[in-house]
Every structure is written in structure tokens, then in C-alpha cells.
């Protein structure tokens, strides 16, 4: 115990520890085992504005264990939070992630897995329910890091932002972290890290589903070389990189509280990932400290938007004395391939040095954006995109459906669902492929009465008029940005509306219907979201009930960053998540407008 106390003093961080064995206590101090230092130094991105088409590292501060995917026109990014919430950001540009709205897409209050959220990864896999996003993360119990273990979520559709359903824990009774997937010859494998004696090692096991394993486990890597033992004997963060039929395992080596945390590599040179003899280890680090960047590691990989470039995302520190806390910042850079077919990651790019953004960000891109389908309505007519022509017409036409996508710069873009083209104001209004210009970005402004207006960033002109209503179309989930849980009216014994994890139940699906003067009815089944007893008193319950009164009508409003609020027409009170709760069953009531995250929501598309 004395040895551990000395280590804790050395790292200058406080961890609330319960009773523990020596091996697990040693495990606390690995990369993911140090409490986040919210009061410590944090790296800040260069305040000098990057030239057009360029960016500089770090993307933003306090971003350990990053995972990044580019999918259907957007980058999606997660990083370790240390809270009970799983945060995701999205942006059509890499540098836009630094200003993108952080959205909690999942939270948990189960005491066995509620806390210390680490190292999220989300992979699009063809699972039992078809193609879905599987989000794997590490979490454990309050007050201790002894019980950290992996869990998996499954998306309801193809949107990385969810909603998500909790699927299971692979190894809930042992300490295991940093989960990832390997697909090889039609078989899915789980990769993870755990402690064995005084070593943290990487393991592999076959999977029957993306959330369950079977059969024996096998050792993948253990710290053997001296450069893998800086500060402590650690291998963790196993990640797969494939090219031209070859499979590489990139993993983090050495203790993350030292500046010598780094990346190592093995290659699958046989055909059985479970056989240690079929992996060949490279005898030197493949990515390590340099150019004023320390402890680069816990990485992921992604492709540029046009698929021509390979990129690495990782965390690093800006000072040698920084360790495993909030000082770690998100960084990304392009890498190349050696003539022998192995990856060449080079050295960490110095902070503040401008780099070209990933190839293809400026399109031309024709894509189906992920997100809720909406109509821009003006009375009984809607904005239509037919050919290159924009006009107002029938709201029954497929051409009236859009995805309103925030661009992380206080603007929106509109992708047409029928054409996969974008609303553009250049020489008049048209729809065209995404080319990342100001003419395709629209500022959301107050319009006439309860309606909204849109102003083009390039021309400064309004979109036709100043009295649009934004109306989500079809069945949707209404997700709390605070908790990641959805509104539901599922209590058989009452009409109460509360929150819960997505379960695919009809009582969790809602539909918006236009009402008068810019308001909407929000229905589940044949009932509407309304205020109990038509009360105007703050704190009154919100229920599923009658649809006839103005207490059953709401003003649905979006802000410039993508948050939605719901204001009751009769009471003028906001829909409010009680006590900012995370737990299933937390109640919704009405409250004065406070502009807090507990009154902020996002509408999710349900396929």
C-alpha cells in the first residue's frame, strides 16, 4: 500500500479508493486509471486563425482517448469524460470539432457501471439487427476504479448520434478496459486490456455478437521491451489498421503518466488471430514523443472524406511533466505507408503548425445526411427541391424533406432527402453537391411572430421569406442533451412522461403535427404531450393526455448550435428534466426558461 501511496503523490492527483488487491491497485495507475484533473493545466489550440483549408493541433483541450469516424458527410468524435455521460461531437469539417456542440448520447445510473466513463469507440458493424453502430466504452463504480469493465450500446439506425440501446457487458466481474473490434475472415473478435500481476496486457477473444464473447481468451501483447516499461509495464489501447490485405495491431505502450507513452505495432502474419505465433512484433516504437509533444498515444484511425488519405487521431501532452489527466488534448495528422507496406506515422506535428485539412472536405459531395427529417413549412406549403429549382409546393412531396444539419460554426446546412444535394444560394437559389462554401450555410434568426428566418452566410439574403416553421416529420425520438435518454410515456398506471433508455417501444416514439401560429402538437399514439390539469404553475407534471387545448401545443425552437427547446403555448413554461437527472424514470415538468442543458433536447430520426 505504501508503494501505491507514493505513486499517487507522484502523479499529484486524488483518487477515491475502496478496498483493493495489489494487482488492481497497480491497474488504477495505467493510462485510464488516473482521476481527471479539472483544475490542472490544459493545452489550448493556437489562437491564431488558420489560413483557409488549414488547421492546427491540438483540436481542443482535455480530450483523452479520442475516437473519430467520418460518415455520411460528418466527422463524429468521442473522448474520455470521467463522468456518467458519453459525449459525442459532430462537424462537416475536422477543425469544426473544436467548436461543435458536445451532446450526451448516453448516460448510466446503474451502480455497477455508472461512473468513470473512459475510452469510447463506435464501430459500424453488420450485427443481428443489420448494420448498426456499436459503441463500446469502459465504466465502473463510484468512488473506486477497481471495477472498470466494458459495455456495449447498439444504435437504433445508422446515425452515430443514436439513440442507443444498452446491450450488455462482456466481462462484468473482472477489470477490463480499452475495448475494440477485429473482423477477420467473417469472424468478429474483441480486443481489450487488463492487468496480470504487475503487467497490463492486451487480450483477444471470439465474439458471437458485438456484445458477447465465447470460448477461451488469448494473449495478444505484453510489455517485453524496455521501451514498453517506462514508468510501469503497460500495454493497452489495442487498435486495428488494415491495408492491402494486411492487418496491423497498433497499441499503446508504457505508463501514460510519463512523457514516454508511445505506440507499438504487431502484424498478423498468420491466419489465426487467437494464435500468438501468428503475430509478428516490430522491435521499435512506431510513434513517440517529439517536436514538443509528449506521451502521444491511445489512438484511432480514420479516412479523409474522399477516401484517399489515412489519418491518425491521438491524444498528447504539451509539457513533459503532464500525465494522465485533463492535460491530454486531441490531435490528428495524416500518415503515409512505407515501401514495405507498413504504416509510417512520422512524428507528432508541433502544436500550432498549420496542416492541410483532410482531402475531400470541400467536396463535391453528394450524400444522405444522418439526422431527423424536417420540413420548412409556410402555412400549407413547404420548401421543395425539384431538379435544381427551389420553390414552395405540396408538403406531401418527397422533395419537401430535408435534414437540417448544424455546421459547428453557428450555421446550418440543408440536405435534401430525395436528391442528397444541399440548399445553395449562389446565383439564385438551387440545390447542389456539398462544396463547403458560405453559400451553403444558413444562419437561423427570429422571424415574424413565432416563426423563423434563414439568412445565407454568403449573400446575406433571406431564404424567400421570414415566416418558416421547422417541423420534424415521421416518427422521432426526443433525446435529452443532458442524459442521452428519450422522452417516454410508458407507465401503464399513469399518464406521466419521464425519460428512459431507448428500447424501441411505441411509447418512446413521437410525431409532430402543425398547430396554429407556429406551434406543434407532439403525439405518441393518440395522446399528446401536455401539462397536467392545464396548469400554468411551474413544476407541474408533463403528461401524455388530451390534444384539444393550447396546453397541448408547444413552440419547438432551435438555437444556433443545434439545441432544441419546447415552450408550452398556454403556460409559456419550458419542458424541463427534473433535477438534471440521468436515471431512468426521471420526471419531466414545466419550468421557467433557464437556458440550461436540462431544458435542451435533440430530435432523432427513427427508421
Q: 288 an active-site residue? A: no
pLDDT at 102: 96
552, with CB counted inside 10 A (0-12, 13-18, 19+), is buried
pTM of the model: 0.93
Return d(Cα 298, Cα 235) in angstroms, integer.
10
Domain boundaries of the chain, sorted by first residue: 2-43+61-356, 373-470, 474-605
Enter the C-alpha cell of residue 144.
473506486
Nearest CA-CA partner of 555 in 543, 542, 569, 541: 569
Q: 584 an active-site residue? A: no
Enter the C-alpha cell of residue 580.
438534471
**Residue ranges of the chain with pLDDT lower than 70?**
1-47
The residues near 245 (Cβ < 8 Å, ≥ 6 apart) are none
Enter the C-alpha cell of residue 29.
495507475
How many whole angstroms from its chain centre is CA 252?
22
Return d(Cα 567, Cα 575) in angstroms, integer.
6
pLDDT at 39: 33
Would you list the DSSP string of 459-489? Answer: T--BSS-S-BEEEE-SSEEEEETTTS-EEE-
| Torsion angle defined by CA atoms of residues 478, 483, 489 and 490, in that order, rounded to the nearest 10 degrees | 130
Using DSSP's 3-state secondary structure scheme, residue 96 falls into helix
pLDDT at 22: 34
Q: Do 373-470 and 474-605 fold alike per CATH?
A: yes
Nearest CA-CA partner of 556 in 401, 431, 452: 452
Task: Tell me if 358 sits within 8 A of 364, measured CB to CB.
Answer: no
pLDDT at 82: 87
How many CB atoms lie under 10 A from the CB of residue 185?
7
Nearest CA-CA partner of 118 in 92, 75, 147: 147
Task: Tell me if 315 sits within 8 A of 324, measured CB to CB.
Answer: no
Task: Tell me if 209 sits within 8 A of 233, measured CB to CB.
Answer: no
Return d(Cα 348, Cα 296) in angstroms, integer.
7
CATH code linked to domain 474-605: 2.80.10.50
Return d(Cα 223, Cα 256) in angstroms, integer.
14
Catalytic residue selected from 65, 178, 260, 310: 65
Q: With respect to CATH, is domain 2-43+61-356 assigned 3.40.50.700?
A: no
Catalytic residue selected from 108, 236, 288, 351: 236
The residues near 150 (Cβ < 8 Å, ≥ 6 apart) are 136, 137, 138, 169, 170, 171, 176, 177, 179, 192
pLDDT at 389: 85
Exposure string of 303-323, with b = 16+ CB inside 10 Å and e = fewer, is ebbeeebbbbbbbbbbeeebb
Residue with cell 477490463: 176
pLDDT at 442: 98
pLDDT digits (tens, 9 = 90+) for 566-602: 999 999 999 999 999 999 999 999 999 998 999 999 9
pLDDT at 47: 52
Q: What is the third-level CATH fold of 373-470?
A: Trefoil (Acidic Fibroblast Growth Factor, subunit A) (2.80.10)
pLDDT digits (tens, 9 = 90+) for 132-188: 999 999 999 999 999 999 999 999 999 999 999 999 999 999 999 999 999 999 999
pLDDT at 48: 74
295 — alpha (psi -120 to 50), left (phi > 0) or beta? left
Amino acid at each position: 500500500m505504501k508503494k501505491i501511496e507514493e505513486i499517487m503523490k507522484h502523479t499529484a492527483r486524488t483518487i477515491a479508493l475502496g478496498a483493493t488487491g495489489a494487482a488492481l491497485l497497480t491497474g488504477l495507475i495505467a493510462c485510464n486509471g488516473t482521476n481527471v484533473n479539472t483544475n490542472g493545466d490544459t493545452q489550448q489550440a493556437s489562437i491564431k486563425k488558420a489560413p483557409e483549408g488549414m488547421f492546427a493541433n491540438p483540436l481542443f483541450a482535455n480530450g483523452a482517448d479520442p475516437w473519430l469516424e467520418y460518415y455520411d458527410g460528418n466527422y463524429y468524435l468521442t473522448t474520455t469524460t470521467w463522468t456518467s455521460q458519453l459525449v459525442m461531437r459532430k462537424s462537416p469539417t475536422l477543425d469544426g470539432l473544436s467548436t461543435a456542440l458536445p451532446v450526451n448520447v448516453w448516460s448510466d445510473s446503474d451502480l455497477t457501471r455508472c461512473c468513470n466513463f473512459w475510452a469510447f469507440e463506435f464501430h459500424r458493424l453488420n450485427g443481428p439487427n443489420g448494420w448498426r453502430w456499436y459503441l463500446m466504452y469502459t465504466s465502473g463504480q463510484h468512488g473506486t476504479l477497481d471495477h472498470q469493465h466494458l459495455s456495449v450500446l447498439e444504435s437504433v439506425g445508422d446515425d452515430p448520434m443514436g439513440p442507443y440501446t444498452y446491450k450488455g457487458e462482456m466481462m462484468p466481474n473482472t477489470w477490463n478496459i480499452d475495448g475494440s473490434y477485429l473482423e477477420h475472415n467473417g469472424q468478429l473478435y474483441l480486443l481489450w486490456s487488463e492487468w496480470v500481476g504487475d503487467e497490463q496486457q492486451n487480450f483477444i477473444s471470439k465474439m458471437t455478437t458485438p456484445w458477447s464473447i465465447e470460448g477461451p481468451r488469448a494473449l495478444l501483447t505484453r510489455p517485453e521491451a524496455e521501451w514498453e516499461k517506462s514508468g510501469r509495464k503497460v500495454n493497452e489501447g489495442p487498435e486495428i489498421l488494415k491495408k492491402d490485405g494486411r492487418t496491423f495491431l497498433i497499441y499503446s505502450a508504457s505508463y501514460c503518466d510519463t512523457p514516454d507513452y508511445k505506440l507499438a505495432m504487431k502484424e498478423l502474419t498468420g491466419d489465426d488471430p487467437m494464435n500468438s505465433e501468428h503475430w509478428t512484433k516490430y522491435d521499435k516504437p512506431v510513434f513517440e514523443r517529439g517536436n514538443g509533444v509528449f506521451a502521444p498515444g491511445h489512438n484511432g484511425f480514420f479516412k479523409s472524406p474522399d477516401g484517399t488519405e489515412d489519418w491518425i487521431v491521438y491524444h498528447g501532452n504539451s509539457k513533459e511533466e503532464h500525465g494522465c489527466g485533463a492535460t491530454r488534448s486531441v490531435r490528428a495528422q495524416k500518415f503515409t505507408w512505407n515501401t514495405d507496406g507498413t504504416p509510417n506515422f512520422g512524428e507528432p506535428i508541433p502544436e500550432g503548425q498549420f496542416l492541410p485539412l483532410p482531402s475531400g472536405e470541400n467536396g463535391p459531395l453528394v450524400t444522405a445526411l444522418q439526422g431527423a427529417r424536417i420540413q420548412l413549412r409556410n402555412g400549407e406549403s413547404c420548401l421543395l427541391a425539384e431538379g435544381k429549382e427551389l420553390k414552395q409546393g405540396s408538403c406531401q412531396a418527397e422533395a419537401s424533406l430535408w435534414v437540417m444539419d448544424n455546421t459547428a460554426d453557428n450555421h446550418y446546412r440543408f440536405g435534401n432527402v430525395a436528391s442528397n444535394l444541399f440548399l445553395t444560394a449562389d446565383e439564385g437559389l438551387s440545390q447542389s453537391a456539398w462544396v463547403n462554401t458560405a453559400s451553403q450555410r444558413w444562419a437561423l434568426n427570429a422571424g415574424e411572430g413565432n416563426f423563423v428566418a434563414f439568412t445565407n452566410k454568403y449573400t446575406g439574403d433571406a431564404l424567400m421569406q421570414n415566416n418558416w416553421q421547422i417541423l420534424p416529420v415521421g416518427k422521432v425520438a426526443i433525446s435529452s442533451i443532458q442524459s442521452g435518454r428519450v422522452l417516454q410515456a410508458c407507465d401503464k398506471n399513469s399518464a406521466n412522461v419521464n425519460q428512459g433508455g431507448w428500447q424501441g417501444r411505441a411509447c418512446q416514439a413521437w410525431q409532430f403535427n402543425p398547430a396554429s401560429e407556429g406551434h406543434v402538437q407532439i403525439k405518441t399514439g393518440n395522446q399528446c404531450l401536455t401539462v397536467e390539469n392545464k396548469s400554468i404553475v411551474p413544476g407541474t407534471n408533463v403528461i401524455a393526455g388530451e390534444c384539444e387545448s393550447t396546453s397541448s401545443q408547444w413552440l419547438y425552437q432551435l438555437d444556433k448550435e443545434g439545441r432544441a427547446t419546447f415552450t408550452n403555448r398556454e403556460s409559456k413554461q419550458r419542458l424541463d428534466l427534473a433535477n438534471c437527472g440521468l436515471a431512468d424514470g426521471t420526471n419531466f415538468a414545466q419550468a421557467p426558461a433557464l437556458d440550461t442543458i436540462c431544458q435542451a433536447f435533440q430530435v432523432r430520426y427513427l427508421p
